[in-house]
Structure 1
Amino acid sequence: MGYPEKEQISKDLMALPDHQDKFKYLIKKGKNQPELNQEFKIEKFRIQGCMSKLWLHPQFKEGKIYFSSDSDAAIPKGIAAILTEIYSGLTPDEALEFDSSFLKEVGVAQHLSMNRSNGLVKLYEQIRLYALAFKSLNRG
């Protein structure tokens, strides 16, 4: 996973003419992702600083990180779905090297409200923190 998914999602989003269509794409992505198991919808996995309830659950298998996510709001759920799709299957080093400006490049980030933008930053930060944690665990 990871880079091929990024390329496909980039193509999909860049082909859409305006931010409303991009938001519809995000909402569809969120609806199509598997629902996060209730046992992971707890404070421990909630993204702090996001106005909506947004959860990010990490797993580390065979040297790679896998994420699942969910939210009670459509756009954050879609953004999280895209990022979990892109970041899942990467090694911790690859996740740490990944360019977090992706959603800006495809014309999504600049159309988010201030609160949603802050939530996006917190989501990226949490992904990086999990990658750092798994990287240090993998060394030990």
Structure 2
Amino acid sequence: MSKKSIIETEQEIIDDFSLFDSWEDKYEYIIDLGKKLPLLEEQYKTEENKIKGCQSTVWLVASYTDGRVFFKADSDAVIVKGLVSMLITVLSGHRPDEIIAAKLDFIREIGMFTHLAQTRSNGLLAMIKQMKNYAIAYKTIQGIEQK
């Protein structure tokens, strides 16, 4: 299974964003990304799958198959759905160590932190933290299983 590295995927997102001149166009692109996010099954839209620290409601679930972590998510806010879609594109399908080590510089490179309201930036950081926490948990489980 040849999957692009996290850094390669981040660079693709940076390149995509460089095609847009205005932040209005960039927001439209983020919203489009959110619309393409596969639907999250209703059974996962539970309190324990909600990300704490997000102003909007965001559900995030992870699974672990063949040494790789896969994410699914949904949100009730279109911009947030697009943001989590970008994170899933970058992180899903990678090994726990890769996810834990990911710097996610693309977020700064495309200017997200300077163009998001403080509450949205906090929510984005909460999503990243939760995804990395899942990776840490799966790495721990993997280590236990190997003993």
Q: Which category describes the TM-score, using the shorter chain as reference length?
A: over 0.9
In 2, Cα distance between equivalents of 1:93 and 1:29: 26
Task: Tell me whether 72-81 or 1-10 shows the greater mean CA deviation.
Answer: 1-10
Structure 1 portions without partners, runs of 5+: none
Structure 1 or 2, whichever has the larger Rg, is: 2
Count of aligned pairs between the two proteins: 140
1:41 aligned onto 2:45 = yes
1:105 aligned onto 2:109 = yes
TM-score by length of 1: 0.94
1:68 aligned onto 2:60 = no
String of CA shifts for 1:32-58, please: whole Å, max 9, x gaps.
111111111111111111010011110
String of CA shifts for 1:47-100, please: whole Å, max 9, x gaps.
111010011110110000110110000110000011011101110000011113
Task: Tell me whether 14-23 or 120-129 shows the greater mean CA deviation.
Answer: 14-23
Structure 2 portions without partners, runs of 5+: none
In 2, Cα distance between equivalents of 1:71 and 1:108: 18
1:83 alignment counterpart: 87
Task: Give secondary structure in 1 for the equivalent of 2:69.
Answer: strand
In 1, Cα distance between equivalents of 2:111 and 2:122: 17
